[in-house]
């Protein structure tokens, strides 16, 4: 019987993991510069957390969650996104009481959604996200968007487009909600079942429908920006001013809505343009979620964040032919001839590693030529060949592979020599 990786998942093999490590290193470095601290949460949570936090009318909750009962009959769900878990941790550990506000967090880890697999989209995928909780300042909105853009540009990506919109406050949403109901009511029978069920519950979700997005009624739907209150409009203006100060270019799209119920005020997506990436161009999305902390049992604390798929980031790098400067070098390879030499090689290799020098040797009893080929293939900087003569002399020739230069070095001086 043969086994294969479950559908919608992938094995990330050596040769690829180095790219992941590099990208994750860039992300961690940027988060440190922006003063966002890492948060790690469980991979499964109470199902109700996502029902309340993400929203009953979303595709995620209705169709995509991996939900199960544990042995005590509790309903648990593999996390489909990171914000609800982050906010739950914020509330549970009373981070709202910390002296330094807003609380600025980031996370990276696997998420799970049961959806159709396609390029850059899996049922288990790795998401990086940030959350800034505790400030309603439009300047933090601009900072969050600038950080997201900075991840991509730091890795060499261009042809990026930041698209923003305002979803307004509660009063804005209510006025727009009534307008949407009146707009879609005459044609609701022509739309899919999901849209029909959302008409009264959350008509804004109709604008995010993947099935009916080309229906004429979508193009003529009332724009949310036409219903912004004076306060919401002023907030959005400030967000744009701060983006201008940060020299972050953007486009306003009145039809942009995010696929999660908790968003209000600022919403944004980062897209990649140009050839070579396929039809799905969105790399990242996020927005403000004032009210979510209260919904999850905490005090009235505003927040904003974003999430991006690492898989789609790597896909974009490949599509744009961007080579990462990966470091996977081998400092020294020890070639052995004979059992006594192998015993000494084990000792030396361990000594090298203990002193911060990457080292390897042969474990297949191969001839010297085959061992030298391995050293060359692994791009070893130095090679030493151990045999009876070297053991007797207690010294060995250290060969620098790039130049072919050799230097005889005593065993006792090898570490010092290599460290130079």
Of the pLDDT bands very low, low, confident and very high (cuts 50, 70, 90), residue 362 is very high
Mean pLDDT of the chain, nearest integer: 92
What pLDDT digit, counting tens, does each position of 210-224 carry? 788 888 888 888 888
Higher pLDDT, 73 or 325: 73
pLDDT score recorded for residue 175: 85
Residue 9 has pLDDT above 90, yes or no: yes
Neighbours of 65 (CB within 10 A): 21
CATH superfamily of 17-169+229-319: Bira Bifunctional Protein; Domain 2 (3.30.930.10)
Model pTM greater than 0.75? yes
pLDDT score recorded for residue 63: 83
DSSP 283-323: EEEEEE-TTHHHHTTS-S--EEEEEEEHHHHHHHHHHTTPP
pLDDT score recorded for residue 45: 97
pLDDT score recorded for residue 72: 96
Q: Which helix (H) or strand (E) holds 267?
A: strand 264-272
- Contact (CB, 8 A) for 75 and 283: no
- Give the span between the Cα atoms of 352 and 368, in whole angstroms: 21
Residue 170 has pLDDT above 90, yes or no: no
What pLDDT digit, counting tens, does each position of 280-335 carry? 588 999 999 998 999 999 999 999 999 999 999 999 999 999 999 888 789 999 99
Residue 68 has pLDDT above 90, yes or no: yes
Is the CATH number 3.30.930.10 carried by domain 330-419?
no
pLDDT score recorded for residue 36: 98
Domain boundaries, the chain: 17-169+229-319, 330-419
% of the chain with per-residue pLDDT over 70: 97
Q: How is the chain split among helix, strand and coil, in percent rounded to 5?
A: 40, 20, 35
- The half-sphere exposure of 34 on its side-chain side, counting CA atoms within 13 A, is 28
- Give the span between the Cα atoms of 61 and 80, in whole angstroms: 9
Higher pLDDT, 262 or 167: 167
Across 90-98, average pLDDT: 97
- Give the span between the Cα atoms of 377 and 143, in whole angstroms: 45
Of the pLDDT bands very low, low, confident and very high (cuts 50, 70, 90), residue 278 is low
Most confident of 184-193, 196-205, 289-298: 289-298
What pLDDT digit, counting tens, does each position of 134-150 carry? 999 999 999 999 999 99
In this structure, of 111-115, 197-201, 292-296, 374-378, the range with the lowest mean pLDDT score is 197-201
pLDDT score recorded for residue 259: 55
The CA-based diameter of the chain, rounded to the nearest angstrom, is 95
pLDDT score recorded for residue 210: 76
Residue 183 DSSP code: H
pLDDT score recorded for residue 20: 97
pLDDT score recorded for residue 262: 67
């Amino acid at each position: 019987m043969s086994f294969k990786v479950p559908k919608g998942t992938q094995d990330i093999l050596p040769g690829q993991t180095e790219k992941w490590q590099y990208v994750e290193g860039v992300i961690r470095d940027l988060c440190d510069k922006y003063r966002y601290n890492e948060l790690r949460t469980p991979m499964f949570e109470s199902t109700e957390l996502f029902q309340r936090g993400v929203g009953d009318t979303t595709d995620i909750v209705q169709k995509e969650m991996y939900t199960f009962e544990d042995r005590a009959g509790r309903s648990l769900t593999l996390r489909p996104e990171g914000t609800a878990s982050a906010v739950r941790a914020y509330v549970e550990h009373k981070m709202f009481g910390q002296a330094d506000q807003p609380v600025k967090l980031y996370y990276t880890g696997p998420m799970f959604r049961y959806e159709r697999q396609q390029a850059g989209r899996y049922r288990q995928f790795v998401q990086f996200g940030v959350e800034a909780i505790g400030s309603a300042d439009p300047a933090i909105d601009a900072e969050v968007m600038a950080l997201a853009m900075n991840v991509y540009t730091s890795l060499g990506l261009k042809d990026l487009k930041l698209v923003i919109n305002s979803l307004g406050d509660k009063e804005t949403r209510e006025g727009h909600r009534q307008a949407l109901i009146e707009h879609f009511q005459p044609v609701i029978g022509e739309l899919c079942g999901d849209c029909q069920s959302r008409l009264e519950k959350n008509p804004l979700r109709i604008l995010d429908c993947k099935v009916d997005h080309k229906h004429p009624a979508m193009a003529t739907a009332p724009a949310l920006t036409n219903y912004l209150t004076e306060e919401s409009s002023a907030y959005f203006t400030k967000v744009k001013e701060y983006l201008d100060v940060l020299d972050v270019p953007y486009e306003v799209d009145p039809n942009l809505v995010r696929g999660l119920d908790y968003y209000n005020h600022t919403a944004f997506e980062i897209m990649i343009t140009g050839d070579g990436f396929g039809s799905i161009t969105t790399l990242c999305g996020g927005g403000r979620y004032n009210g979510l902390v209260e919904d999850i049992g905490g005090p009235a604390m505003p927040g904003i964040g974003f999430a991006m798929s690492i898989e789609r980031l790597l896909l974009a790098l490949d599509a744009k032919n961007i080579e990462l400067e990966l470091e996977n070098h081998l400092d020294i390879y020890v070639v052995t001839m004979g059992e006594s030499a192998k015993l000494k090689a084990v000792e030396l290799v361990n000594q090298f590693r203990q002193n911060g020098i990457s080292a390897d040797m042969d474990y297949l009893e191969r001839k010297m030529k085959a061992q030298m080929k391995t050293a060359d293939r692994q791009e070893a900087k130095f090679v030493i060949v151990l045999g009876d003569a070297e053991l007797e002399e207690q010294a060995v020739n250290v060969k620098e592979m790039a130049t072919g230069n050799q230097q005889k070095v005593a065993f006792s001086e090898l570490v010092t020599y290599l460290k130079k």
